[in-house]
Amino acid sequence: MGGTGTGKTTFANLVGGSQHLVGDGLESCTTHIQSQQFLLDDCCVTVVDMPGFDDTNRSDADILNMIADFLVAEYRASRCLSGIVYFHRISDVKVGGTSRCNLTIFQKLCGEEVFANVAIVTTRWDQEDEAVGMARLAELKASPRLFKSVVAGGGSVVRHDGSCDSACRVLRRLISGTPKPLLIQREMISEGKDVAETTAGQEFQHDIMQQVERHQREMAELLEEIEQRLMKRRRWGKLHGYPGSLRNSMSLMTVRFQWAASGYQ
């Protein structure tokens, strides 16, 4: 798992010898769950490639439902994941709101009890200065809002250089662990919750509402600034009647945004 363009599908192709489509443009290529089965050290391994939450073709709600449906089906078939790999570009100068949200939802999907089976894989080291990358990695591991809780729970943060050997080393560590059900699997099967009622679903809805509130504030500030300028120009007799109609248009935009956001609920 991980954001779009972090190297998930490239990793799956490396270890499994598959030919899943890899994107090098601005749009996502992985729009559905892909899996590949292969032998690693005489052990039968299945790698499952999940779409990122910031997919350009599907909404985050669709992605969450897709992942939840897959995990529930696996759990009902008595199959648990031996390991979960989360991908992050070390070349990212900052961890923005989308990346932070992706990581938070990932942690809520897994649950703290499964962190020991998590490997956070950092990619794109060839696009970053070594000293800068190492300093950034140390910051990521120490930040409570990023990787610290996973590391504290027994998870690992590893460096992937893009080679098959590097990818196989990640898998060897994970397949030696004990398979465990993820939190969202336990919540939906054992507790009978819907996706929206799970810890991950609640976090997702919380993030949506924060976005709604932020956009409302930004729109209100923009509207006030525009109206002040229009009022000044009106006093010079150049414009008439625009502020009221503008406010109505902005209000309609807000209602439509809220309606779209509430669709997940």
* Burial (CB count <10 Å: 0-12, 13-18, 19+), residue 86: buried
Token pair 């391994």: residue: 45
Instruction: Say which CATH architecture domain 8-192 belongs to.
Output: 3-Layer(aba) Sandwich (3.40)
Q: What is the pTM of this model?
A: 0.77
Output the pLDDT for position 24. 43
Task: Report the range of poorest mean pLDDT among 53-57, 66-70, 168-172, 176-180.
Answer: 53-57
The confidence band for 248, taking pLDDT boundaries of 50, 70 and 90, is low
The confidence band for 84, taking pLDDT boundaries of 50, 70 and 90, is very high
Output the pLDDT for position 221. 86
Task: Report the range of poorest mean pLDDT among 95-104, 198-207, 247-256.
Answer: 247-256
Q: Calculate the alpha carbon distances from 103 to 7, 36, 53, 131, 149 in Å.
A: 15, 24, 10, 24, 11
pLDDT at 261 over 70: no
If one compares 167 and 206, the residue with the highest pLDDT of the two is 167
Q: pLDDT digit string (tens) for 9-36? A: 899 888 887 655 444 433 444 568 888 8
Alpha carbon of residue 200 to chain centroid:
11
Q: Helices 164-175 and 8-16 meet at what angle, rounded to 10? A: 90
Spatial separation of the C-alpha atoms in residues 185 and 179, rounded to whole Å? 13
Domain layout of the chain by residue ranges: 8-192, 201-264
Output the pLDDT for position 237. 56
DSSP state string for the chain: -BSTTSSHHHHHHHHH--------SSS----S-EEEEEEETTEEEEEEEPPPTT-SSS-HHHHHHHHHHHHHHHHHTT--BS-EEEEEETT-SS--HHHHHHHHHHHHHH-GGGGGGEEEEEE-GGGS-HHHHHHHHHHHHH-TTTTHHHHHTT-EEEE--SSHHHHHHHHHHHHTS--B--HHHIIIIIS---GGGSHHHHHHHHHHHHHHHHHHHHHHHHHHHHHHHHHHHHHTTS--SHHHHHHHHHHHHHHHHHHHHGGG-
pLDDT at 180 over 70: yes
Output the pLDDT for position 90. 94
Provide mean pLDDT across the span 73-93.
Answer: 94
Provide mean pLDDT across the span 154-166.
Answer: 94
Type of residue at 168: C
* Burial (CB count <10 Å: 0-12, 13-18, 19+), residue 151: middle
